[in-house]
Structure 1
Amino acid sequence: MIRARLGLMMFLEFFIWGGWFVTLGTFLAQNLSATGGQIGMAFSTQSWGAIIAPFIIGLIADRYFRAERILGVLHLVGAGLMFCLYQAESFTAFYPLVLAYMILYMPTLALVNSVSFRQMDDPSREFARIRVWGTIGWIVAGLAISYLFAWDSGEAITAGALRNTFLMCSLASLLLGLYSFTLPATPPKANTGQSGWREWLGLDALALLKDRNYAIFFVASILICIPLAFYYQNANPFLAEIGVANPTGKMTLGQISEVLFMLLLPVFIHRFGIKITLIVGMLAWAVRYALFAIGDADSGIALLLIGIALHGVCYDFFFVSGQIYTDARAGERFKSSAQGMITLATYGVGMLIGFWIAGMITDHYATAEGHDWSGIWQFPAIFAIAVLVLFAVSFRARAANAAQNTQ
């Protein structure tokens, strides 16, 4: 019963995110006449939320209030902000609302994990079965937008149908906000007086950067977030603009592959080691963008679908394996701080830089008819290859595997 309740929590949490974030770029460009730079600003609110989230969790949730109650309050306020986004008629009105929303939403990602972990006897075995419902929620949101409501294709886009995604997510956020108050009690941990702002932000784990291999991985993680930002910001607008039918539904192939490759990841790491796994992840980013550069909505549609389906390799083989590597290198003392540090560096700093660059590149390749998408996708493809080469020649596989095997 507890597992089902937590699964529903995860489903709604990621249904909300996937229900508006995937189509955000398309909505802003088509309905609010936003530039590439403005779209980059809107997407970068995710990064600002990731940077601010540790303060909310560390200073408030972990010390004073029950996690499920904070989760409920944040989603109830978020429901109101989502409704305001549904009503926004210009980017000037839209931006401060989406910034406020993401500052409130990003901490909920940690809160749903906290609520889940506190109800588990063995999180290493039980959490994946709960978390997978979040991915299913994201998939259902995308399928609903494309195949149930048909908001993202043809005349529906220009008619402003994508505005309804915010109304849909407002209702889902209201539901999750109310539902959160029925979740098992998750009181704050006892204050031992030993934690501080350095631990909340993951800065205690900066000692890991003294290790040459980990420092190289850390820098590569930030840099590879630049190509990642291009996908989040431009994939849906790209597919919609070139005439791919039901683009949001087709993009759920990425989440489906994410689940499948997650199952293969432990086997791959054990067989080939962490360096090869990370390299395969970076190579997949380059291949994906090369396929986007040469594919089209007609004879080249298969290339686009393969590029979307590579999301599982792109994300799992670099970001998830990177979290595993970080956990192995951190040891017991810095496990939590290290995960906080790498999350702040990637989804905070790395993605913030990535969205800014993606916005500039998109504006540079804007044309009277739309965009030169081939030129846009070549940049992250080449950039990912450059990061891969620098990582491959600098990272010492034997030392990394030896360190991981000693944990």
Structure 2
Amino acid sequence: MPDSPTPRTLPMVKGGLFGVFFLLGMSPGYYIPALSNILAGKGLGSEWLALAFLAGPVASLVSPLIVGALADNHYAGQKVLGWIGLISGVLLGSAFWMLEQGASPWWFIGLLAASSIVAAPMWSMLASISMVHLRSGEREFPLVRLGGTLGWMVAGALTSYVFFADHSPVAGYAGAITRILCGLLAFLWIPNTPPVGTARSLRSLLGLDAFALLKERDHLVFFSVTTLLSIPLASFFMHTPLHLIELGNHAPAATMTIGQISEIAAMLVMPLVMTRFRVKTVLMVALTLSTLRYVFYAVSGSTGGIEWLIAGIALHGMCYTLYFITGQLFLDRRVDPGMRGQAQGLLSLASNGIGSLVGTLLARQLHDHFVVGHHGGWSAYWWIQAACTAVCVPVLLVFYQGVPAGKSVSR
């Protein structure tokens, strides 16, 4: 008998999810690539830059698990997503207003942290909600998630070439307005997503049941490697814009959207990749390319050639998609429906929380020593990041077992 056709999701549902992803990606796409230069323009040094980039990781240590548990067990997912979008957008706009008014930098850091705490679960929640409504997650999710990539890329171009805000709080205002719009449209464009869990204990309410996933070997290896990978990844957004400026590039936010172009290409082939190759194979390719990205950066640091830095930026989107989107699909395969929100929250904890927290602290120390202190410069700085990334390759190769693509996985 011929294979039955792959079930397809209604275009209206896919379009709504794509649109919310677009706005969700657009919001940080305005201000994250510009943040280093915005703070430098206000005369704030590396200690304030580190604090600003620590806001997200600290927030991701707690809120994704708790909010994921709420969506799994108590409240409709689209309503939770909508409210946190509205609240975090107001807080984000307030943070950049304080920065523009010349208030104490602590006001900016505090409001940015508050916004991050509220907004931290949005990516993992929207991924989990999408998996519920897509009839074929492995084929359709990468195409829906593509909206976030396009939103980020459009925002970067607007920041540099329309708003001319690579050094201005205007980028933050644009991000805040877009976040609020994302929250509003979550109520309108996302189908009802009722809770499917039945949590009653305090442990379940806090999302701590997700840690039970780590009892399974492949889960433990995947989350461990994700944490290790996210440590050097933190330096990408912190210091790539500064390196670009030093090499004479005056539109770093727009230049960094080159990474989104390769991310789009990777997203488009993901449905084919996930049905043809084992998860382990895809993750290994992603880790190898991630190492090569920082090797290119290091060569740029030693030669002064901006083309090497741009080549590394171009690899970033492919690295991100092949690892993190594969990881989200991997979890959706292996986790019961009542735990999927918390599983995605645990992924956010490992990557945006623990990994980014350690990586941000380490990146500041390394940058101050090697670049600011002129002990090897950008080349030494990026070689260390390449080495940290390379460590992940043998860990995954040796300890991850996995199953061939297309076979079911016991839960």
- The TM-score, its normalising length taken from structure 1, stands at 0.83
Alignment partner, residue 150 of structure 2: 136
CA deviations over 1:128-178 (Å, ceiling 9, x no partner): 4432222111110001112223333xxxx3xxxx21101222322343344
| Alignment-derived partner of residue 358 in structure 1 | 363
| Equivalent pair of 1:199/1:337 in contact (CA under 8 Å) | no
CA 1:179–1:270 in 2, change beyond 3 Å: closer, same or farther?
closer
Query: 2 CA distance for matches of 1:216 and 1:193?
Result: 27
Q: State how far apart, in whole Å, the 2-side matches of 1:17 and 1:298 are.
A: 31
Gaps of 5+ in 2: 1-11
Q: Within the alignment, does 1:151 sit opposite 2:154 as a pair?
A: no
User: Structure 1 CA distance, aligned partners of 2:172 and 2:322?
Assistant: 32
- The answer for the alignment partner of 1:395 in structure 2 is 399
Which residue matches 1:405? 407
Q: Deviations over 1:270-321 (max 9, x none)?
A: 6664444323222222211121122269972321221111113321233333
Q: Kindly report which structure 2 residues correspond to 1:76-87, keeping only aligned pairs within 5 A, or say none.
A: 76-87=86-97
Which letter does structure 2 place at the counterpart of 1:252? T
Alignment partners' CA distance in 2, 1:330 and 1:190: 13
Alignment of 1:231-250 (within 5 A): 231-250=236-255
Give the structure 2 partner of residue 342 of structure 1.
347
Distance 1:94 1:303 in 2: 34
- 8 A contact 1:146–1:249 mirrored in 2: yes
CA 1:115–1:390 in 2, change beyond 3 Å: closer, same or farther? closer
Aligned-partner residue type, residue 400 of structure 1 = G
Is the aligned partner of 1:251 residue 2:256?
yes
SS at match of 1:365: helix
Count of residues in correspondence between the two structures: 394
Which range moved further: 244-253 or 126-135? 126-135
For structure 1, the 5+ residue unaligned runs are none
Q: Are the equivalent residues in 2 in contact too, given 1:262–1:316 (CA < 8 A)? A: yes
CA contact (8 A) 1:205 1:337 kept: no
1:323-356 CA-to-partner distances (Å, cap 9, x unmatched) read: 4444455577865554443332222212211111
Which deviates the most, 301-310 or 85-94?
Answer: 85-94
Q: Tell me the equivalent position of 1:27.
A: 38
Q: Does the aligned pair in 2 maintain the 1:226–1:354 contact within 8 Å?
A: yes
Query: Structure 1 residue 103: deviation in Å?
Result: 0.8
Q: 1:92 aligns with which of 89, 96, 106?
A: 106
* Inter-CA distance 267–148: structure 2 relative to 1 (3 Å threshold): same
Percent identity among equivalent residues?
A: 29
Paired amino acid for 2:164: A
- Report the residue type matching 2:403 in the other structure: N
1:264 corresponds to which of 260, 269, 288: 269
**1:292 partnered with 2:297:** yes
1:8-407 matches, within 5 Å, as: 8-35=19-46, 37-54=47-64, 56-58=66-68, 60-87=70-97, 88=99, 89=102, 90-113=104-127, 116=130, 120-152=134-166, 157=167, 162-183=168-189, 186=192, 188-189=194-195, 192-193=198-199, 197-198=203-204, 201=207, 203-204=209-210, 206-211=212-217, 213-265=218-270, 267-268=272-273, 273-295=278-300, 300-328=305-333, 330=335, 337-367=342-372, 372-392=377-397, 394-395=398-399, 399-401=401-403, 405-407=407-409
SS of the aligned residue for 1:400 comes to: coil
Change (3 A) 1:148 1:215: same
Q: Check 1:229–1:404 CA distance in 2 against 1; reply closer, same or farther (3 A cut).
A: farther
Amino acid corresponding to residue 95 of structure 1 in structure 2: I
| 1:300 partner letter | G
How far, CA to CA, are the matches of 1:121 and 1:232 in structure 2? 34
Which segment is superposed worse, 137-146 or 50-59? 50-59
Contact 1:243 1:297 in 2 (8 A): no
1:339 to 1:365, Cα distance in 2 relative to 1, 3 A? same
Distance verdict in 2 for CA 1:324–1:183, change over 3 Å:
closer
Q: TM-score, normalised to structure 2's length?
A: 0.82
